[in-house]
Amino acid sequence: MKKKLNGKVSGLEKRRAVTGYLFISPFIIGFLLFMVKPMVQSFYMSFCDVQVGAGSFEMVRNGISNYKYAFRVDPDYSRLLLEGFGRMIVYSLAIMVFAFFVSLILNQEFHGRAFVRAIFFLPVILSSGVILGLETDNSVIAQMHATVEESMTNVSVTAVLEDILRTAGIGTRAYETVFELIDNIYDIALASGIQIIVFLSGLQTIPKSMYEAASIEGCTAWESLWKVTFPMVSSIFLVNWVYTIVDFCMRTDNEVMTKITDTMVDQLNYGLSSAMAWCYFVLTILFLAISSFLISRRVYYYE
Amino acid sequence: MSNTAVMSAPASTGKTKSKDRPKMSALRKKKIATNAFISFVSFILLFGLCFMIIQPILNKISVSFMTEGDLYDPVVINIPAHFTTANYQLSAKLMNYKLAFKNSMITSLTIGLLQVAVCTLVGYGFARYEFPFKKFWFGCVLLMIIIPPQIMSTSLYLHFKFFDFLGIAKLVTGNTINLRGSVLPYYLLSAGCMGLKNGLYIYLIRQFFRNIPKELEEAAYVDGAGTLKTFVIIMLPDAKPILVSCFLFSFVWQWTDGFYSRMFLGNLKLVSTSLSSIADDLSTYIASQTGVQTTVSVAYSNCILSTGTLMIILPLIFLYLFAQKGFVESLSSTGIKM
């Protein structure tokens, strides 16, 4: 009897497993056809010299000369790669801080909260795809305009502050980075729409009783921010960090990506562009893995 | 004895109360003052940030109604002196707006529906069924979110240029099929969950289905509903909000997407692709009108660009106004966690 029951259960399980596979089969097919195959092919291509003929394309193996070319001969690639990574780290950190800060403010009760939230989410919809690329073009012109205006009329308060801090001569490069971030606060605000919403959803899951308990124990608001809020949303930090970095990699105004696409479309050098793409991808994944590992060790799971 | 104690108790409390009252009110006053200060500061901060986000749009609106002369006039800043709609007419002409709008509408709608339908199936499969290698396949979904599509663009480009499924075409016609220039590649990609940000939709939908209690499903089975019937009748109506918001995202991102459209949608005229080339179109148009090859001034081409951008985001703004809740609420209700 027991044996029969067991057999029946495993039969049902089997059927459910088959149904499950049926449900996810579009993904598996798509993944194998449009992800694994192109990935393998482009990996192979990065070791080849690709010649596109009339009816087909040929691949001639040439070892690691594409990689050598990308790093040693190409004048821009290694510089762009380094700069891209520097920008990615600085901007991702800035986006995280900004998003966390804004979501803390938006989490409080005030009139017109829904309206403000809607505005902060607006860039996710309006500044995506091509429009983002156009915005950056515009901002270059706007910046030029601003510098011209600044040199003509009186100086602003922040400029004076920048000058004072610069002449102080301590940690000039750190200041420069901060100034750059402040100048580009618009870009940061545009890029942090989703992160704000995700942080907000995390903040709203924290039970009110925790804050009450903390305040009875004598916690100030500042202390309860670090002792209650921060640990409770630490898992959200991980999610947002991954999302931010991935988002940064896929942005249309990413210089490394532009370089790769240019190499492919304009110079028709498929092998070289594959090599460049793979280097960028591997470095990004490595960075993502190491940084998420470091963050995940600090994540606190409350259950 | 006990009486006096009772009598004295209220008296003493009354005394302490009257003693404490001024102290309390001073404290309260201080508290109210700090609260007012904090709300004032946060109001200024929020107002500034909101203004910063909205300002470019307002600026574009005011610029789009200006004549070319107004752009160079230092007196005119926000309100155009010579109100005109010529910019709109010109950018509509340059972008071939009616055709592009129709194409974009059809493409975004069909692709959005297709992507959401496929992602729902996959997300449901991941959420409600146990099968071997489930963790592995879900890892693949996460990998798909992380891998930038640009890395395979080279290979996919060639893949569709010389498309051949299992070598059938070569057998019949002796040649491979060139799918570049047609819209088929992108529909194929979408049917295989490899479209724009499809990994994210799978993740969100799975997260939603996981929260539906198991009892509901079991009750349906007990009542005699099959797998498909349970899915369609019991599960789908529950998942309406998340499906709607995934569709909205899909629609909007497809509407503005440049990368996939340029790579896999061939020569179809879309609003996004026509916007990205509007500046070049403008200079060729002016050259053909005047017969002289001149460079268009930065201000004027920017003005046309702003007008074009406005025309593209106008439908999105309307959509956002009416479906704002659909965009934001679902993201916060699924409870994204790792």
Taking 80 as the threshold, does the pLDDT of residue B303 lie above it? Answer: yes
| Shortest CA distance from A117: residue in chain B | B328
Residue A131 lies in a domain: yes
Of the candidates B325, B259, B57, B42, the residue with the CA atom closest to the CA atom of residue A186:
B57
Instruction: Kindly indicate the confidence band of residue B177, based on its pLDDT and cuts at 50, 70 and 90.
Output: low
Higher pLDDT, B248 or B163: B248
The count of residues in chain A is 303
Contact A31 B194 (CB under 8 A): yes
Mutation test of the interface with chain B: which of A9, A36, A128, A138, choosing the one with the most B Cβ atoms within 10 A? A128
Higher pLDDT, B55 or B263: B55
Taking 80 as the threshold, does the pLDDT of residue B59 lie above it? Answer: yes
| Shortest CA distance from B43: residue in chain A | A110
Q: How many CB atoms lie within 10 A of CB B277?
A: 13
Nearest CB to A273 within list B154, B302, B317 = B154
Residue A102 lies in a domain: yes
Write down the pLDDT at residue B175. Answer: 59
Residue A159 lies in a domain: yes
Of the candidates A20, A81, A289, the residue with the CA atom closest to the CA atom of residue B143:
A289
Of the candidates A120, A108, A248, the residue with the CA atom closest to the CA atom of residue A196:
A120
Nearest CB to A129 within list B43, B257, B332 = B257
Contacts with B112 (C-beta within 8 Å, 6 or more apart), sequence order: B247, B250, B251, B254
Q: Cα A6 to the chain's mean position, in Å?
A: 48
Nearest CB to B150 within list A201, A246, A257 = A257
Q: What is the pLDDT of residues A117-153, one digit of tens each?
A: 888 888 887 777 677 666 555 554 555 555 555 555 5
Nearest CB to B189 within list A16, A34, A249 = A34
CA–CA distance, A45 with B159 (Å, rounded to integer): 13
**How many Å lie between the alpha carbon of B292 and the closest alpha carbon of chain A?**
26
Taking 90 as the threshold, does the pLDDT of residue A192 lie above it? Answer: no
Residues of B in contact with A120 (CB under 8 A): 49-50, 53
Cβ contact A129:B258 at 8 Å: yes
Q: How many CB atoms lie within 10 A of CB A92?
A: 22
Q: What is the pLDDT of residues B203-261, one digit of tens each?
A: 888 888 888 888 888 888 888 888 888 888 888 888 888 888 889 888 988 888 877 87
| Shortest CA distance from B188: residue in chain A | A30
| Shortest CA distance from A104: residue in chain B | B42
**How many Å lie between the alpha carbon of A63 and the closest alpha carbon of chain B?**
19
Sign of CA dihedral A143, A148, A149, A150: positive
Contact B151 A264 (CB under 8 A): no
Domain boundaries, chain B: 90-333
Instruction: Kindly indicate the confidence band of residue B8, based on its pLDDT and cuts at 50, 70 and 90.
Output: very low
Residues of B in contact with A239 (CB under 8 A): 336-338
- Quote the number of domains for chain A: 1
Higher pLDDT, A267 or B122: B122
Mutation test of the interface with chain B: which of A34, A45, A250, choosing the one with the most B Cβ atoms within 10 A? A34
Q: Is B307 left (phi over 0), alpha (psi -120 to 50) or beta?
A: alpha
Cβ contact B129:A19 at 8 Å: yes
Token pair belonging to B105: 């509408």
Token pair belonging to B138: 């879900």
Taking 80 as the threshold, does the pLDDT of residue B46 lie above it? Answer: yes
Instruction: Give the domain CATH number at A214.
Output: 1.10.3720.10
Contacts with A81 (C-beta within 8 Å, 6 or more apart), sequence order: A256, A279, A280, A283
Contact A27 B192 (CB under 8 A): yes
CA–CA distance, A1 with B68 (Å, rounded to integer): 89
Q: Element (H or E) spanning A52, and its range?
A: strand A48-52
Instruction: Kindly indicate the confidence band of residue B2, based on its pLDDT and cuts at 50, 70 and 90.
Output: very low
CA–CA distance, A96 with A93 (Å, rounded to integer): 5
CA–CA distance, B305 with B301 (Å, rounded to integer): 6
Q: Which of A40-49, A248-257, B131-140 has the lowest mean pLDDT?
A: A248-257
Q: How many CB atoms lie within 10 A of CB B100?
A: 21
Phi, psi of B177, deg, nearest 5: -95, 135
Cβ burial, residue B145 (10 Å; 0-12/13-18/19+): middle
Write down the pLDDT at residue B49. Answer: 87
Write down the pLDDT at residue A303. Answer: 59
**How many Å lie between the alpha carbon of A204 and the closest alpha carbon of chain B?**
9
Q: What domain range is A284 assigned to?
A: 65-298
Residue A210 lies in a domain: yes
Contact A37 B328 (CB under 8 A): no
| Shortest CA distance from A192: residue in chain B | B53
Contact B129 A16 (CB under 8 A): yes
Contact A45 B154 (CB under 8 A): yes
Taking 90 as the threshold, does the pLDDT of residue B113 lie above it? Answer: yes
Instruction: Kindly indicate the confidence band of residue A49, based on its pLDDT and cuts at 50, 70 and 90.
Output: confident
Specify the amino acid at residue A105.
I
Taking 90 as the threshold, does the pLDDT of residue A246 lie above it? Answer: no
Instruction: Kindly indicate the confidence band of residue B3, based on its pLDDT and cuts at 50, 70 and 90.
Output: very low
Write down the pLDDT at residue A135. Answer: 59
Q: What is the pLDDT of residues B62-106, one digit of tens each?
A: 888 888 887 777 777 778 888 888 888 888 888 888 888 998 999
**What crossing angle do the helices spanning B324-333 and B298-322 adopt, rounded to 10°?**
70
Q: To the nearest whole number, what is the mean pLDDT of chain A?
A: 79
pTM: 0.80
Residues forming beta bridges with residue A57, ordered by sequence position = A52
Write down the pLDDT at residue B20. Answer: 52
Of the candidates A238, A65, A246, A226, the residue with the CA atom closest to the CA atom of residue B199:
A246
Cβ contact A253:A139 at 8 Å: no
Contact A281 B175 (CB under 8 A): no
| Shortest CA distance from B200: residue in chain A | A243
**How many Å lie between the alpha carbon of A29 and the closest alpha carbon of chain B?**
6
- Mark out the alpha helices in chain B (DSSP H runs): 2-64, 68-72, 86-95, 97-128, 134-146, 150-161, 168-173, 184-191, 198-210, 214-222, 227-229, 236-238, 240-256, 259-264, 271-276, 278-290, 298-322, 324-333
Q: Which pairing describes strands A48-52 and A57-61: parallel, antiparallel, or unpaired? A: antiparallel
Residues forming beta bridges with residue A59, ordered by sequence position = A50
Of the candidates B234, B131, B187, the residue with the CA atom closest to the CA atom of residue B122:
B131
Contacts with A193 (C-beta within 8 Å, 6 or more apart), sequence order: A120, A121, A122, A123, A124
Instruction: Kindly indicate the confidence band of residue A213, based on its pLDDT and cuts at 50, 70 and 90.
Output: very high
Cβ burial, residue A8 (10 Å; 0-12/13-18/19+): exposed
Annotate B219-254 with three-state secondary structure: HHHHCCCCHHHHHHHHHHHHCHHHHHHHHHHHHHHH
Write down the pLDDT at residue B109. Answer: 92
Residues of A in contact with B149 (CB under 8 A): 250
Write down the pLDDT at residue B15. Answer: 45
- Mark out the alpha helices in chain A (DSSP H runs): 2-31, 37-45, 65-68, 77-106, 113-126, 130-152, 157-168, 172-183, 185-191, 193-204, 208-216, 221-224, 230-232, 234-250, 255-265, 270-298
CA–CA distance, B52 with A186 (Å, rounded to integer): 7
Q: Between the CA of residue B101 and those of B94, B132, B255, B268, B272, what are the distances in Å?
A: 13, 46, 10, 11, 10
Q: List the 58-117 stretch of A: residues with Cβ below 8 A of B.
A: 102, 105, 108, 110, 116-117
Share of chain A above pLDDT 90, in %: 5
Q: What is the pLDDT of residues B321-333, one digit of tens each?
A: 888 777 776 666 6
Phi, psi of B313, deg, nearest 5: -85, -10
Taking 90 as the threshold, does the pLDDT of residue B192 lie above it? Answer: no
CB–CB contacts below 8 A, A to B: 237
Contact A288 B146 (CB under 8 A): yes
Residues of A in contact with B259 (CB under 8 A): 129, 252
Q: Between the CA of residue B259 and those of A81, A93, A215, B160, B265, what are the distances in Å?
A: 21, 26, 51, 15, 10
Instruction: Kindly indicate the confidence band of residue B16, based on its pLDDT and cuts at 50, 70 and 90.
Output: very low
Give the SS3 label for residue B294.
coil
**What crossing angle do the helices spanning A193-204 and B324-333 adopt, rounded to 10°?**
50
Q: What is the pLDDT of residues B68-77, one digit of tens each?
A: 887 777 777 7
Q: Provide the Cα torsion B128, B129, B133, B136; round to 10°.
A: -10
Write down the pLDDT at residue A285. Answer: 87
Contacts with A138 (C-beta within 8 Å, 6 or more apart), sequence order: B56, B302, B305
Q: Between the CA of residue A256 and those of A82, A262, B260, what are the distances in Å?
A: 10, 10, 18
DSSP state, residue A303? -
Contact B193 A238 (CB under 8 A): no
Cβ contact A63:A47 at 8 Å: yes
Mutation test of the interface with chain A: which of B42, B150, B162, choosing the one with the most A Cβ atoms within 10 A? B150
Write down the pLDDT at residue B333. Answer: 63
Q: Give the residue-averaged pLDDT of A236-257.
A: 82
CA–CA distance, A134 with A245 (Å, rounded to integer): 21
Q: What is the pLDDT of residues A4-19, one digit of tens each?
A: 444 455 677 888 888 8
Contact B145 A246 (CB under 8 A): yes
Nearest CB to B131 within list A21, A34, A108 = A21
Q: To the nearest whole number, what is the mean pLDDT of chain B?
A: 79
Q: Provide the Cα torsion B327, A249, B197, A198; round to 10°.
A: -30
Give the SS3 label for residue B177.
strand
- The domain made up of B90-333 has a fold known as MetI-like fold (1.10.3720)
